[in-house]
Amino acid sequence: MAAQLAGKRALISGGASGIGAATALLFARQGAAVAILDLDEERGARLARTITSEGGRAIFIPGDASRAEDCARAVQQTVEHFGGLDILFNNVGITRRATVQDLSEADWDRVMEVNVKSVFLLSKYAIPHLIRSGGGAIVNNASGWGLVGGQRAVVYCASKGAVVNLTRAMALDHAAQNIRVNCICPGDTDTPMLRDEARQLNQSEANFLAEAADRPLGRLGKPEEIAQAVLFLASDAASYITGAVLAVDGGGTAR
């Protein structure tokens, strides 16, 4: 079978670990040149080396996706290195588990900056290059908790709900430019961020993960499974899909 992303150029935020890393590997194996934007320089550089050692094309760009200057630089370096840009995966995200009463203003601001402002900034700088490429695809990583509420997760739910409706608004604004904008809403997926939530809630990791797996399919998601959904929305297989919100959650939001 032909590579689904042959000749495409992609930028992935939060690409050094978890869903971002799995997507970077999958994109590269499907023929895309991949730029990885992340604060974790060790993991990001190692992943880029892994991709190139497999015969793919990848660069690592250290930076904070909530900062305008870092986003502009990441987009520019991607375009300069690969000759253009076709796909943006707004993946970076963090969480702070707390109620409104317990959450600090600083934590509220930081989660909103990383989870929502990064989507705005990277899209702002990427869209002119997608237009120059004749169109392209933006995939935003929201969450099942962008569709339903969750306990002790107010800022995460608020931020991911914002990403869901930001996706729809962007899809309307840029359809005429042949830019498709969609989002995925993963359920609990076995990533470093999920395991960190157990620490934030002062729960044992084993018990926390067992509770997270309580969904119709009876298990956690794997980063590689979420990456397959991103690949679909980024590829020509989804050429007539824009403004879509795809739950990839083992049936968690079906209840």
Cα-based torsion angle of the residue sequence 230, 236, 240, 244 in order, rounded to the nearest 10 degrees:
10
Catalytic annotation on 240?
no
For residue 120, the model assigns a pLDDT of 98
* Cα within 13 Å of Cα(58), Cβ side: 29
Long-range contacts of 113-118 (CB under 8 A, 24+ apart): 113/66, 114/65, 114/66, 115/156, 115/159, 115/160, 115/162, 115/163, 116/159, 116/162, 116/163, 116/166, 117/66, 118/13, 118/65, 118/66, 118/71, 118/90, 118/92
For residue 232, the model assigns a pLDDT of 98
With a CB cutoff of 8 Å and minimum separation 6, the contacts of 200 are: 95, 96, 97
Residue among 136, 156, 180, 252 flagged as catalytic:
156
- pTM equals 0.97
Phi, psi dihedrals of residue 99, rounded to the nearest 5°: -80, 170
For residue 239, the model assigns a pLDDT of 98
Question: pLDDT tens for residues 85-119?
Answer: 999 999 999 999 999 999 999 999 999 999 999 99
Domain ranges of the chain: 9-238
Question: pLDDT tens for residues 228-253?
Answer: 999 999 999 999 999 999 999 999 99
For residue 137, the model assigns a pLDDT of 99
Average pLDDT, the chain: 97
d(CA 64, CA 57): 22
CATH topology of domain 9-238: Rossmann fold (3.40.50)
pLDDT tier, 1 (very low <50, low <70, confident <90, very high otherwise): low
For residue 31, the model assigns a pLDDT of 98
For residue 24, the model assigns a pLDDT of 98
